[in-house]
Amino acid sequence: MPLGYNRVLGDDRTRAESRPHRVALASWPTTAPDPRARSLDALIGHAQSAGYDGLELGPASLERYFPGESPMAIARKSRDAIEKAGLQNFGTTLHFTDEEMRSLQFLELAREQLEPVVVLGGQFASYQLFIHPDHANGGGAYREDERYLSWAADRVTELRDLTWEHGLNFYLEVHVDRITEDPAALCRILELATCELNGDMSHYLARGFTRGPHVGKIQGHVGHTHVRMARKYGDLSAAVDDPKADWEAGGVTWQAFDFMKPALDGGLSSRSVVGESGPMHLVTDTLTLDASLVPLYRAMARYADASAQGMKMKVDEPGDLRPWG
């Protein structure tokens, strides 16, 4: 059941538990210098041909397609183009630095960023909140700074309530270099500011944070997800040359699915599984990689669909499910 004023998204003419999960492409892959992203029409065409149901884009990521235009104009034109193609922009990811969150105009800035999201047709906002530079790269020591965690929770509460005022679902993203990077610290923030999470679990998987009470609690708060292949104790953004063979060998595709299962239990309130392999580490052809992983995202969606309807799919090993046939 969604927390607070979050709701189950999707077609409201259908019972909440029966609303299917959709597969979308995030904004990060579209930043690559690739002809498939050189224009909004090209990007939409790629999303259609790759089998996505929609996108997760915001005015900031669309600016390059509409130079010099206002965020509201960008949102209106982009929504028209996306929906004309039979796709949907499900929501947006927003970013705030520590300095911005300490500004007297913080909530005004947040409001200005949310209004175009509504015009763009988004139904949720997912936030990446940067950690204070003094706590960056500190091995999670900020978990002991109760004053800082209380301050961070206050910012989460303000953003959560403002997002709900705009009729949007709110998600706080799990991410390195953000206030969510340490599991224990994040659990304390959740005690002070209960909310749903965007579970980009690659950020924990890459560091080997895969079990224990803190990770379990976090998985239970996931209502949305970004999916990227991560190599345990290795690359945060891992290349996969042959996804089918990788899955069968229990590689990064299987590990991502297996780690996400507890988070998918009961279904995601966003009803969205969003792929975002970015141009990082050995990943150079990000749009091709993400497109090759659409069957994995579909498998996650199927698992979440079944769980939302009270059915438990048995997927204990790679042979129990074959996303690539």
Tens-place pLDDT, residues 302-320: 999 999 999 999 999 999 9
For 78, the domain range is 16-320
- CA-to-CA distance for 88 and 65, rounded, in angstroms? 18
Report if residue 10 sits inside a domain: no
Given a cut of 90, is residue 278 above it in pLDDT? Answer: no
Using alpha carbons only, give the angle 241, 50, 34 rounded to the nearest 5 degrees. 70
Predicted local confidence at residue 95, as pLDDT: 97
Query: Does 2 map to a domain?
Result: no
56 closest CA partner among 143, 136, 173, 207: 173
Q: 86-97 pLDDT, tens per residue?
A: 999 999 999 999
The number of helix segments (H) and strand segments (E) in the chain equals 13, 9
CATH code for position 166 = 3.20.20.150
* pLDDT over 80 (residue 1): no
193 within domain boundaries:
yes
Structural domain count of the chain: 1
Residue 11 falls inside a structural domain: no
Name the pLDDT band for 151 (thresholds 50, 70, 90): very high
pTM above 0.75, yes or no: yes
Judged against a pLDDT cut of 90, whether residue 32 lies above it is answered with no
Does residue 217 lie in a domain region?
Answer: yes
- Establish if 8 belongs to a structural domain: no
User: Is there a domain that residue 131 lies in?
Assistant: yes
Q: Quick one: CA dihedral 27, 32, 36, 42, positive or negative?
A: positive
